[in-house]
Structure 1
């Protein structure tokens, strides 16, 4: 087994790395890695319905869709991620408990009662510290998971908080659970770097054929290409979301503004605007301008730029229209 310390903290690059290993390296792999602030959404989720858009924008949090299913998770540098990529043809390939057992073993050795519970979670005292997901490609599986070690819990809750009234869709929904950091349960202080080394050493000890691996220049070039052409694109992260209906109202100086959108494959197919604001011109022109564009802020600003907005929405700013659309 190839064992990899992945030093990149670029969320787009790291999620691309998982896919690259799965589809390009023939040997089994175990990788430990961390992401800078990011929300990682499941393959079949509606991205915008899983994130607190305003908070994500304000705090410059990356949003990345992975190739595995499951729910949305928040990553920061206090969270350690692990990936197993293995070949095989039996049912054990999708055994979540088997792949997470090394994590449980290490944490239990630290004197913490960590357990596998439910379908794919690791828990301490009824609180979740690890969520896991998997993706099968031909005869190989990618199993990856989070390990909340010293994450900023306020960011975890705020970044994933969303008003359920805004979106109506049939996408896979994340199920909120109480979460906890491993560091809060340690009897003696242990840095994340120290924990990472303990975990890597343990995995090496249980796989006798394991050896450390560093990505080649060619590996990095191909991962970068996959990052740029897929994982860093709006189309992948937002446009592949299932169809949805969006509704939101905001109170402005000019009155109440309510936006109703029908979105398919990330593109706004229909817009209806309601409210008690005053208008000199028919807002049908605005509705038409917003139809057929991506449900994405820069596209909306571009579509609105030719208009004198105050002629259509008295005392309402473009920023307030944007606020009502996310």
Structure 2
């Protein structure tokens, strides 16, 4: 077991790219987004996305106009694009989105430094008066050691170097469920079994437990770029993860739950960080428990919570160097193209956000120091490979990928589209992810008899009590006889045919 020393030093970190501090409207914590500045979103500068690996389909061309998906999705029923392997295409790649890497599950060690338990040497001490911390020594454990550590009756901090969002959320769930509620009398001097977890995911959209993906995210665009959406097990709104942010999760007992307490620890440690990679401005905690710019009020980190089985956790996404201009596109929905969703699901809350500009490793080390100062000596464990994970973690990752969890968990909703080419509205009623009913309302274009012919097979399958039709673009489109209408509906629902 290794502890953080009280002497404060600076951690030698890699150079951090200067980040422009622009006001951004509600990114990535909400879905009601509007055009911003004249930078045209800086898509060519999105450094975190690397070229796709061999064996994956690659986007050859993408949408032409970033302010509208009219070149990707049909407008009013006019199918303007071709689809190859469910990848939406257009004529030009004006914004460099073909350089996005496609999501691939973590297959082994993910470690930017090319290290396991070796860490950078410390830099020379700065001038007297600077508030700095020494980097904690981390341990890399085998599977049996990790299982035992998750159940240890003492505080523990975990750092995941894996980048698969499903695996990281499953790991969080495993640590949470195996955390002892209190230490036994056999461990004198230990007063808590609190846990702290850090992880950084490949690009993905993460929705809250009680949210609707059709309402919160641009599913056709996500599909075209190979970026998954993930449903987490806590409440709250939709966020976007990429390798420019760090996710943290603080776990304690239900009795000790306080939505502001650990946020205050983070604020304190961020504000005392000095040297290379330090934040560009001070932060504070607002009344909602969000971490915001202490001067301008833009959100740096939103939070979500879970309380169950005598335990609780508070987790959040810390925006450090995320490309907000690109990420905003993943949540932007135009109802004229993607339909109007009505549901009892929880809506995301709009908030202006910005990057903190702090080095990720420095942020992690600072917060671990604060965790140890607040809760006592703690192990710091680094997880670099799926081989270290208990089987239950990988099983839970598969559950998080399942259709039943991702789509079947959405509250009942309706999804209405307007086809201006043939002058009709169509409303789908969806429950537990299955299509329960649909209604077509003509507006004088095509005759009712013609429409009955177009939708007769869809009507048959929906009316058959022995069958259940999953609500999805290709599933619904496959039962519509009129080709242009079939393609329009498939592309509009989720980008599939």
Q: Is TM-score (shorter-chain normalized) higher than 0.5?
A: yes
- Answer 1 or 2: which has greater helix percent: 1
Q: Which has the higher contact order (CA 8 A, sep 6+)?
A: 2
User: Does 2:232 correspond to 1:69?
Assistant: no
- The aligned residue for residue 266 of structure 1 is 433
**Structure 1: which 5+ runs fail to align?**
184-189
Aligned residue for 1:70, secondary structure, equals coil
Q: Aligned match of 1:166 in 331, 337, 340?
A: 340
User: Does 2:4 correspond to 1:4?
Assistant: no
Q: Compare CA radii of gyration and give the structure with the larger one.
A: 2
Q: Cα distance, 1:134 vs. partner?
A: 0.9
TM-score, normalised by the number of residues in structure 1: 0.85
- The aligned residue for residue 11 of structure 2 is none
Runs of 4+ in 1 over 4 A off after TM superposition: 214-218, 277-281
- 1:151–1:289 Cα change, 3 Å: farther
Q: Aligned match of 2:316 in 145, 168, 178?
A: 145
- The aligned residue for residue 226 of structure 1 is 396
After TM superposition, list the pairs within 5 Å mapping 1:79-228 onto structure 2: 79-89=245-255, 92-93=256-257, 95-110=258-273, 112-124=281-293, 125-163=296-334, 166-183=340-357, 190-214=358-382, 219-228=389-398
| Structure 1 contact 83–145 (Cα < 8 Å) conserved | yes
Distance (whole Å) between structure 2 residues aligned to residue 35 and residue 289 of structure 1 = 43
- 1:322–1:277 Cα change, 3 Å: farther
Aligned residue for 2:435, secondary structure, equals strand
> How many residues get paired?
306
Q: Cα distance, 1:220 vs. partner?
A: 3.3
| Structure 1 contact 249–324 (Cα < 8 Å) conserved | no
Q: Aligned match of 1:297 in 473, 478, 490?
A: 473
Aligned residue for 2:237, secondary structure, equals coil
Deviations 1:181-223 (A, max 9, x none): 001xxxxxx5333333333344334432211235695743210
- Answer 1 or 2: which has greater strand percent: 1
Aligned residue for 1:130, secondary structure, equals strand
| Structure 1 contact 37–76 (Cα < 8 Å) conserved | yes
Distance (whole Å) between structure 1 residues aligned to residue 457 and residue 267 of structure 2 = 55
- The aligned residue for residue 208 of structure 2 is 42
Distance (whole Å) between structure 1 residues aligned to residue 320 and residue 252 of structure 2 = 25
Q: Aligned match of 2:416 in 243, 247, 272?
A: 247
Aligned CA-pair RMSD: 2.5
- 1:288–1:196 Cα change, 3 Å: same
